[in-house]
Chains A and B, each alone.
Chain A
Amino acid sequence: MRSRIPIFTTAVVCLVGWLPLWSSATEADDSKVKAHLVADAMKIEPGSTLRLGIRFEVADGWHIYWRYPGEAGLATAIDLRLPEGFDVGSLQWPTPIAFTQSDGIPGYGYEGTVVLASEVRVPEAVERKRVVVRATVSWLACKDVCVLGSSELEAPLSEIRSDSAFREWERSLPRPSDADDQPFTLSTTGGLSDGVITHWLRWAEAPQRVEWFPDPSSALEIDTIRVQTRGGLTRIDADVRARKGVEGRIDELPSLIVVTGEDGVRRGWEISVDLASNSDSRSK
């Protein structure tokens, strides 16, 4: 049994509850989260690519959630709809932060301002003035209590403001697993049959701080994460277990390695490890 300090807590709870916001506008505001439709280009050219998404402004002390929210919470969701012929790519998620939700329950998400966006391919034939963007957005914002929010946003693409946040946005995205600038080499031991998966990261230069963000399917339960860095080697252990009767991938575990460099900047790398093998050291 874990020890706890018996502190009596008086909580004043402002009950806001479910706050659906239905608006034909580029932005919505539920007092905890403001959501704006944003793009990285004002003009659309036939055959070009632009980034289109939602900028969330989260009130101080509150957070919203990453695609894997942790052991509680709810992933932020965006359904972006454009006219036929536009090709909307998958949602791109900047590197999240980790927080403790309640007595050790881990959570992953965002505080402050974050842009979640997709790459959109413009068709060769397009009537520029008639392009209307529609988005259904929903989020869970939490501090001491949680508030569900949602909004329907709609606007002509020509009226969606070009957001300066996109200048820094690219750098906030985790690098793909095949990136040639990955600063570590990865090997793993353990696996599903062992009940524990261990990631070993060997660094050319010892990092200031290493964080690990699992991104399992709902068929996997990840628990008891331990991250230890000693010199040029980081060891990440996590208990891993398949949920009984749940459909979903249990043979691989995607995750993010997030490194804080000497400049204080956090950078993320996507990795994925094989859970089917066990106890062998596997290098990538």
Chain B
Amino acid sequence: MKLLTRFLVIGAVVTVAVPAAAGVGVGDTAPNFTLEDTAGNEVSLSDYSGKVVVLEWLNPDCPFVQRHYKDGTMKKLATAYGEKGVVWLTVNSTNYMDEAANAKFKASNDLPYTILVDQSGEVGHLYDAKTTPHMYIINGEGELVYIGAIDDDPRGTKGGAATNYVAVALDEVLAGKAVTTAETKPYGCSVKYKK
């Protein structure tokens, strides 16, 4: 306490602060949002009430994302778990990517899932998405049960030895189990938010 008291009475020289983010945590109720997809249709998270939902943050210009799309990581997961009733929603909070740019990416990659356009970054900030990719899993009760990286292979050098955290977590959720690795440090490019 002595330290604190003295600290308060001495004149200020320098203050450097990194602002706090809003954000969500594992165990929180996933906040609802509404965004337009690449066809201009409004999509809300609440449309999928009762379902397991994966949120993926996307920026097609990020090399980490490019590698995963070249390898088909997201598409394979979305297809495989889609057959088990899991909903895959991709959110693009990149400030310069509008509906047309996202539609072009969806078409060129023949994606079976929706890309939601978040140019304002509002939903990205709501979830405190920091990287592309940044992954979130919401269980059927609307609770966030996984937040973090897609896998443990940021350099893409592990091949078949990589652990896909999202697949492992989805298997556990679908089996009615608690997610063992519920949080990891996401890797990738920073989300290119609107300034």
Q: What is A's interface to B at a CB cutoff of 8 Å?
A: 1-2, 4-7, 9-11, 13, 15-18, 71-74, 77, 101-107, 138, 140, 142, 144-148, 187, 189, 200, 206, 209-211, 218, 221, 223-233, 235, 239, 243-246, 281
In the complex, identify which listed stretch (B12-20, B41-49, B84-92) lies at the interface while the others stay far away. B12-20
Assembly CA distance A218 to B121 (angstroms): 26
User: A245 and B121 in contact (CB under 8 A), knowing A7-B195, A229-B13, A232-B10?
Assistant: no
Among A74, A142, A227, contact of B187 (Cβ-Cβ < 8 Å): A74
User: Would you list the 7 A-B pairs with minimal beta carbon distance, nearest first?
Assistant: A72-B190, A101-B190, A231-B10, A243-B183, A103-B193, A245-B181, A244-B182
| Contact call A245/B183, Cβ cutoff below 8 A | yes
CA distance A77 to B155 in the complex (A): 10
Check A15 against B61 for contact (C-beta < 8 Å): yes
Cβ of B192: which chain A residues have Cβ within 8 Å of it?
11, 102, 144-145
Closest to A218 in B: B185
Show 29 A/B contacts (Cβ-Cβ < 8 Å), sorted by A: A1-B22, A4-B194, A7-B194, A18-B63, A18-B67, A72-B187, A73-B189, A73-B190, A74-B155, A102-B190, A102-B193, A103-B193, A103-B194, A104-B18, A105-B191, A187-B3, A200-B7, A209-B14, A225-B17, A225-B18, A226-B17, A226-B18, A227-B17, A230-B7, A231-B10, A231-B13, A243-B184, A244-B182, A246-B184
Partner of B11, one of A211, A218, A231: A231
Question: Which of B15, B22, B26, B96 sits near A244, CB closer than 8 Å?
Answer: B26
A11 touches B95 (CB 8 A): yes
**A223 close to B21 (CB less than 8 A):** yes
Chain A residues near B51 (CB, 8 Å)? none
Chain A residues contacting B179 (CB-CB under 8 Å) are 245
List chain A residues, Cβ under 8 A from B189: 72-73, 140, 142, 145-146
Name the contact of B7 in the complex, choosing from A9, A10, A105, A233 (C-beta under 8 A). Answer: A233
- The residue in chain B whose Cβ has the minimal distance to the Cβ of A144 is B192
Q: Find chain B residues with CB under 8 A from A210 CB.
A: 14
Q: Which residues of chain B are within 8 angstroms of A230 by Cβ–Cβ distance?
A: 7, 10-13
Q: B interface, how many residues as a size bin?
A: 35 or more
Interface presence of B180 (CB below 8 A): yes
User: For residue B190, which residues in chain A have a CB less than 8 angstroms away from its CB?
Assistant: 71-73, 101-102, 105, 107, 142
Residue of B whose beta carbon sits closest to that of A244: B182
Q: Distance in Å from the Cβ of A58 to the closest Cβ of chain B?
A: 16
A266 to chain B, nearest CB (A): 14
Is B188 among interface residues, defined by CB-CB distance under 8 A?
yes
B172 to A: closest C-beta gap in Å: 10
How far is B115's CA from A239's CA once the two chains are assembled, in angstroms?
33
Are A138 and B155 in contact, with the CB atoms below 8 A?
A: yes
* Apart from the given pairs A18-B63, A223-B20, A233-B7, 13 other A-B contacts in the complex at a CB distance below 8 Å: A5-B195, A13-B61, A16-B63, A71-B130, A72-B130, A72-B186, A227-B17, A229-B13, A231-B10, A231-B13, A243-B183, A244-B183, A245-B180
1/0 per position for B142-159, CB-CB distance to A under 8 A? 000000100000110000
Q: Which of A1, A71, A146, A233 contacts B3 (CB 8 A)?
A: A233
Best-buried of A72, A227, A243 by chain B (most CB within 10 Å):
A72
Contacts of A17 in B (CB 8 A): 63, 66
Q: Which one of B62, B185, B194 has the greatest number of beta carbons of chain A within 10 Å?
A: B185
The answer to whether A2 and B3 have CB atoms under 8 Å apart is: no
Chain B 15-40 residues near chain A, CB threshold 8 A: 15-22, 26
Give the chain B neighbours of A1 by CB distance below 8 A: 22, 125
* Given known contacts A104-B21, A147-B63, A233 and B15 CB-to-CB distance under 8 angstroms: no
State in angstroms the CA–CA spacing of A223 and B182 once bound together.
18
Within 8 A of A (CB), among B53-81: 61-64, 66-67
Question: Within 8 Å CB of B182, what residues of A?
Answer: 243-245
Kindly list chain B residues whose C-beta atoms are within 8 Å of the C-beta of A146: 62-64, 189
| Alpha-carbon separation in the docked complex, A18 to B35 (Å) | 31
What CA separation (Å) do A148 and B188 show in the bound complex? Answer: 10
Instruction: Give, as a whole number of angstroms, the nearest-CB distance from A272 to chain B.
Output: 19
Chain B hits for A138, CB < 8 A? 155
Interface membership of B131, Cβ < 8 A: yes
* Residue B177 CB within 8 A of the other chain: no
Chain A residues with CB under 8 A of B14 = 209-210, 227-229
B186 to chain A, nearest CB (A): 8
The smallest C-beta distance from B173 to any residue of chain A, in angstroms, reads 14
